[in-house]
Chains A and B, each alone.
Chain A
Amino acid sequence: MAEAPTAGSDEGSVDAFLQGGSLKHAPGPYFGSYGGRWMPESLIAALDELEDTFEKAKADPDFIAQIAELNKNYSGRPSLLTEAKRFAEHAGGVRIFLKREDLNHTGSHKINNVLGQALLAKRMGKTRVIAETGAGQHGVASATAAALLGLECVVYMGAEDCRRQALNVARMELLGATVIPVTNGSQTLKDAINEALRDWVANVGNTHYLLGTAAGAHPFPAMVRYFHEVIGEEARAQIIEQAGRLPDAVCACIGGGSNAIGIFHGFLDDPSVKIYGFEAGGDGVETGRHAATITLGKPGVLHGARSYLMQDDDGQTIESHSISAGLDYPGVGPEHSYLADIGRVSYEPITDSEAMEAFRLLCRTEGIIPAIESSHALAGAIKVGQRLAAETGAAGAAEKIVIVNLSGRGDKDVATAAEWFDLLDKDSAEAAIGKEGEQL
C-alpha cells in the first residue's frame, strides 16, 4: 500500500489514485495547484506552438518510430539494469539494482529529452536551439543533438559552473556549440535559465528553448517527462524479468527532477512500490547552504511554473548550494511538488558528505564511477535499505528490492572528487589548478 498523504492542499488525491485513478501521463498544465504558465506574454505564442507540435508528434507514428530508432541506435537504449551486490552489503543487505542511464551516449539520462526536443524544433522549422546547463551534461547533450540534426546551438552556463566543469565547456565547443558564461546573480543554473529566457524572447522566431529539466512553463514539465518515461518503462520490465516482481522502492536524485520523474513514472500506479526523491542537502539543511527545495522551500513562481521554491520572506530566490552542479537549483519541477503534497513520493535531503561517501563506495564495490548527482540517490538507497533491514531483519532484507536511477556517469566529476578525497599530489599541476578552481 502507498503511504497515507502527509501534508498539503492536495490531500485525498492518493485515495483517489488507490480507488482506480491513475497518476500516470498527467498532461499539465496543472499538477494539483502547481505548474501553469507564469511567463511573459511575448513567449506564450511560442509555448502554444510547442504544445501543439508536441501533441501532434505524440500521435504521429513516424515521430514515435524516429524516437525509438534514435534511442536504440544512437543513445544505446535500453540502458542496462545492473544488480549491485557488493554495494548492497552496505545498504542493510537488500537487493539493489542500478538503472544504468550512465551508459547512454553522452553519459546521462539527458540525451532522452534533447533528442525529442531537437526533433520537435525541426518540426517547427526552427534552426537554432538554446539551452541552459548546470553541470554541463544537458549542455553537452544539447550540443550533441544539435550536431546530429544540423541545428545551431548556444548554451548558457553560469560562470561559476563553467569554472567547476571546464571540461564540459570544452566538450560543448568541440561539438560545435557556443558556450556563453553567465555572470549575473549567483552565476549558476538559475541565472543560466534567466539568460536563456532573455535570448528566447528576443529570438523566438527561429529559436527553440531546449529546457533541460521537467520544470518551467507548460508544456515543458509534461513534455520533458514524456521523453524520459522510457527510463521507468524499461526499468519496470527489466526488474520483472530479472527478479520476477516489482521493486519495494525506487530512488532517484532531484535537482529540477527530470531523471526522477522519468523513472518514477513507470511505478506511480504501483501502490506497493515506495518512491523516494533525494534532494541536495549541501552542507546540511540546518546550515542554510543546501538545495533541498521540497524539504524546506515554500510554494512560489519561478521560471514559468508554480512549485516549491527556495525563497526568502520577500519572495526573492535564495541561492542554492550543492557540491553537485546539476542539483544546484533553488526550484523543482511542479509534478514533484504535487507528488510530495499527495504523499505518493517521499522527498529527503542528502548532504554533500553522504553523497561523496556513496560515490566512493560505488567506485570501490562495483567498479562504476557515478555522477555526484546520482550519488545522492545512492546515498538515499543506503538509508532506505537500512530502514528496510531494521523493519524486517536480515532474512527479510535479503528479499527486498530497491532500484536506483544511476542518472549519469562521474567522469566529469573526477576533479571535484579528487579534491574532496585529497587524492592529488600537493606538487602536481592538477593540484595547483584545482586550488584555482577545481578544474582539470
Chain B
Amino acid sequence: MTGVQNTSSTSKSAIAIDKARAEGRSALIGYLPAGYPTVEDTIAAGVALARNGADLIEIGIPYSDPVMDGPVIQAATTEALANGFAVRQVFDVVAGITSQTDAAVLVMTYWNPVVRMGVDEFSRRLAEAGGAGLITPDLIPDEAAEWMEASDKYGLDRVFLVAPSSSPERMKRTVEASRGFVYAVSIMGVTGARSSVSSAAEGVVAAAKGAGAERVCVGLGVSNADQVAEIAAYADGVIVGTALVAAIRDGGVDAVAKLTKDLSTGLTRK
C-alpha cells in the first residue's frame, strides 16, 4: 500500500497543493456537478474557477441516489440527469478543463457508476482525459481493493474521506490508503452552506495529520471568504461546493468567476 508520504512527485493534487503552500497559502478547491446545466457550461465554469484562484477542481458525477448531498446539489444533479447527462461525458469535462488550465482536476463520484463502467476502464479513461484522481464519498478503503489497484496502475490520486466520527484506527487506515490529500469532513451531515464552520473540523485535521497525512483539505459547509480564512489557518486546502453550485444556478459562469475571486481572498488572510 502506497502512503501519502512518498507520492508528491507523481500526484497531481499534491503538486497543486504544494504549489499553493510554496506561495504561503492554502489551496482552494472548487466543486461543480458535470452537465449542470450543460457539459459546455461545466467546462466554462471550471476554466473560470481555475483562472480566478482555484488550485484544484472537483467535478461531480450526477447520480440517482446522492445520499451525501443536500438540496442544492441534489437539485442540480437531478437537473443534469434530466438533461440527459451520461457518465462518459465526465471525461469530456475533465479534458476540456485540463486542456485549458493548470488546475488539478479530480472527479467526485458515488461508487456505482464506476462499478458499472468497470473500475479499470473508468480509471484508464480518467487518466487519458488528464484527470488527477477520484474523491469517493461512499467508498471506504475497506471496500477499495479494485480501486487501489487501478489507481496505482494509472497513477491516479485516491482521495478518501475522514470524519469527526472516525476512530484513530480508521483515521490511520484511511490516511494510509489515500494519495494526493485526505478529505476532512468538517461536520456530521450532508453538503450545503452553513452559517458557521464546525469547530470539529480543526480536530479532524489534527487527527489526520497525527495519523501521518501530509495534506488535509476541509470540506462541507464552506461558502464565503471568512470561512475560507478560518479554515486556511489550519488546513492545506479549503473545499467549496454548494455555494459555487448556487452561483452557477443563479448567475452562470460569470457568477462562478466572481465568487471564486472573492473566496480566494480568504486563503492568505491572517
Whether A39 sits at the interface, judged by CB under 8 Å, is yes
A353 at the interface (CB under 8 A from B): no
Instruction: Decide yes or no whether A38 CB sits under 8 A from chain B.
Output: yes
In the complex the two chains form, is A42's CB within 8 Å of B163's CB? yes
* Pairs across A and B, CB under 8 Å, 9 listed: A41-B166, A42-B164, A44-B170, A194-B65, A300-B112, A301-B138, A314-B117, A315-B63, A316-B63
Is the C-beta of B196 less than 8 angstroms from some C-beta in chain A? Answer: no
Least CB separation from B174: chain A residue? A41
Query: For the complex, what is the distance from the CA of A40 to the CA of B165, rounded to whole Å?
Result: 11
Neighbouring B residues of A36 by C-beta, 8 Å: 142-143
Q: Does A311 contact B (CB under 8 A)?
A: yes
A residues in contact with B68, CB < 8 Å: 40, 198, 201
B168 to chain A, nearest CB (A): 11
Closest to A317 in B: B64
- Report if B233 contacts A (CB, 8 A): no
Which of A's residues lie within 8 Å of B, judged by CB? 36-46, 48, 184-185, 190-191, 194, 197-198, 201-205, 298, 300-303, 309, 311, 313-317
Tally inter-chain residue pairs, CB-CB below 8 A. 109
Q: Give the distance in Å from the alpha carbon of A39 to the alpha carbon of B65 in the complex.
A: 12
Q: How far is the CB of A44 from chain B (nearest CB, A)?
A: 6
Interface SS of B by simple majority: loop
| Chain B nearest CB, measured from A417 CB (Å) | 31
**Chain B residues with Cβ under 8 A from A184's Cβ?**
74, 78
Q: Complex formed: what's the CA distance from A198 to B78 in Å?
A: 17
Nearest CB of chain A from residue B39's CB, rounded to whole Å: 14
Whether B116 contacts A315 by the Cβ 8 Å rule is yes
A39 touches B112 (CB 8 A): no
Q: Could you tell me if B189 and A41 are in contact, using CB atoms closer than 8 angstroms? A: no
Nearest to A304 among chain B residues (CB) is: B138
A314 adjacent to B116 (CB under 8 Å): yes
Which of chain B's residues have a CB closer than 8 A to the CB of A317?
Answer: 64-65, 112
- Whether B112 and A40, one on each chain, are in contact in the complex, defined by CB atoms closer than 8 angstroms, is no
Given A41-B163, A300-B115, A315-B113, 14 other A-B contacts at CB below 8 A? A36-B143, A38-B111, A39-B140, A41-B162, A42-B163, A45-B165, A46-B165, A185-B65, A202-B188, A300-B112, A302-B112, A303-B67, A316-B63, A317-B65
Q: Is the CB of A315 within 8 A of B163?
A: no
User: A41-B185, A42-B188, A198-B67 are contacts. A204–B165 as well, Cβ < 8 Å?
Assistant: yes
- Write the chain B residue with the least CB distance to A205: B188
CA distance A190 to B112 in the complex (A): 15
Q: Considering only CB atoms, which chain B residue lies closest to A29 in the complex?
A: B142
Does chain A have a CB within 8 A of B127? Answer: no
- Determine if A301 and B185 form an interchain contact, defined as CB atoms under 8 angstroms apart: no
- Whether B246 sits at the interface, judged by CB under 8 Å, is no
CA distance A243 to B189 in the complex (A): 54
- Minimum CB distance partner of A49 in chain B: B165
Q: Counting chain B CB atoms within 10 Å of each CB, which of A205, A300, A314 scores highest?
A: A314
Interface assignment of B81: CB less than 8 Å from any CB of chain A = yes
Please give, as numbers and ranges, the residues of chain B lying within 8 Å of A197 by CB-CB distance: 67
The interface residues of chain B lying within 8 Å CB-to-CB of A205 are: 188
Whole-angstrom distance from the CB of A291 to the nearest CB of chain B?
A: 15
The smallest beta-carbon distance between B237 and chain A, in angstroms, is 18
> Interface SS of chain A: helix, strand, loop or mixed?
mixed
Contact residues in B for A309 (Cβ distance below 8 Å): 112
Shortest CB distance B38–A (Å): 17
Among residues of A, the one whose C-beta sits closest to the C-beta of B114 is A315
Q: Is B86's CB under 8 angstroms from A39's CB?
A: no
Also in contact, A314 and B113, with CB within 8 A (given A41-B166, A41-B174, A201-B68): yes
What are the residues of chain B within 8 A of A45 when measuring CB–CB?
163, 165-167, 170
Which of B74, B114, B161 lies in contact with A40, CB distance below 8 A? B161
Give Cα A44–Cα B174 distance, bound, in whole angstroms.
12
Which one of A44, A298, A301, A316 has the greatest number of beta carbons of chain B within 10 Å? A316
Is B206 an interface residue when CB atoms closer than 8 A count as contact?
A: no
- Chain A residue nearest to B111 (CB atoms) is A301
Q: Which of B65, B162, B174 contacts A190 (CB 8 A)?
A: B65
Q: Is the CB of A37 within 8 A of B115?
A: no
In angstroms, how far is the closest chain A Cβ from the Cβ of B123?
A: 15
**Contacts A300-B116, A315-B113 given; does A41 touch B65 at CB 8 Å:** no
A48 to chain B: which residues have CB within 8 Å? Answer: 167
B148 CB–A CB distance under 8 Å: no
Check A204/B188 contact, CB under 8 A, given A45-B166, A185-B64. yes
- Give B74's nearest chain A residue, CB to CB: A184
Decide if B139 is an interface residue (CB 8 Å cutoff): yes
B170 engages A41 (CB within 8 Å): yes
> What residues of A have a CB within 8 angstroms of the CB of B64 in the complex?
185, 316-317
**Residue from the list A40, A202, A298, A311 in contact with B138, Cβ < 8 A:** A40
What residues of B have a CB within 8 angstroms of the CB of A303 in the complex? 65, 67
Report the Cα distance A36→B74, complex, angstroms: 26
What chain B residues lie within 8 Å of A201 (beta carbons)?
A: 67-68, 188-190
CA A251 to CA B68, docked complex, whole Å: 37
Q: How far does the alpha carbon of A314 sit from the alpha carbon of B61 in the complex, in Å?
A: 11
Contact across chains for A301 and B190 when beta carbons are under 8 A apart: no
Compute how far the CA of A190 lies from the CA of B64 in the bound complex, rounded to whole angstroms.
Answer: 10
Assess A315 versus B115: contact at CB under 8 Å? Given A38-B138, A41-B166: yes
B137 touching A40, Cβ below 8 Å: yes
B 1-39 binary contact with A (CB < 8 Å = 1; else 0)? 000000000000000000000000000000000000000
Known: A36-B143, A38-B139, A315-B87. A301 touches B170 (CB 8 A): no
Closest Cβ of chain A to B147, distance in Å, is 12
Q: Are B65 and A38 in contact (CB under 8 A)?
A: no
In contact, B170 and A313 (Cβ under 8 angstroms): no
Closest partner residue, chain A, to B170 (CB atom): A44
How far does the Cβ of B82 sit from chain A's closest Cβ, in whole Å? 11
Whole-angstrom distance between the Cβ of B254 and the nearest chain A Cβ: 30
Across-interface contacts of B65 in A (CB, < 8 A):
185, 190-191, 194, 302-303, 317
Give the residue among B66, B81, B86, B143 with the most A Cβ atoms within 10 A.
B143
CB distance from A328 to the nearest CB of B (A): 15
B160 close to A (CB within 8 Å):
yes
Contact of B87 among A46, A190, A204, A314 (CB under 8 A): A314
